[in-house]
Amino acid sequence: MNPMPNGEVKGVRPLTSVELLDAAVWREIGTQDPQPSSAFIEGLASLVARWLLVRSETPEMDAMTLICRARGYMSRARDMEDGWTP
């Protein structure tokens, strides 16, 4: 595999954002063994909390904003699945 000028490897597709997040959560969990869904929620919460503490000037407020926006995205995605469009 030879890297291309932009850092990509020919013939290998870049990971999607979901795949990157999955990898980060698995790393946070610290094992590749099967886990209950609660372990993924805990891993994601820990990861997001540390990220907000490092990157945000107002981590508590931004955590609430994140929850509200995520809920909005999920609601819109469900509406689109049901065939509803605004």
Span 74-84, pLDDT tens digits: 999 888 887 76
Range of the domain at 76: 17-81
Number of domains in the chain: 1
| 12 domain residue, yes or no | no
| 8 domain residue, yes or no | no
| 34 domain residue, yes or no | yes
Residue with tokens 């509406």: 79
Sign of CA dihedral 56, 59, 65, 66: positive
Element (H, E) at 79: helix 59-81
CA-CA distance, 57 to 8, in Å (whole number)?
A: 34
Residue with tokens 């469009």: 85
Residue with tokens 């509200």: 68
| 23 domain residue, yes or no | yes
Mean pLDDT of the 11-29 span: 94
Instruction: Indicate whether 85 pLDDT > 70.
Output: no
Mean pLDDT of the 52-63 span: 97
| 2 domain residue, yes or no | no
| 45 domain residue, yes or no | yes
Task: Record the tokens describing residue 66, joined without a space.
Answer: 């994140």
Check residue 83 and give its pLDDT: 73
Instruction: Indicate whether 35 pLDDT > 70.
Output: yes
Check residue 81 and give its pLDDT: 82
Query: What is the Rg, in whole angstroms, of the alpha carbon atoms belonging to the chain?
Result: 17
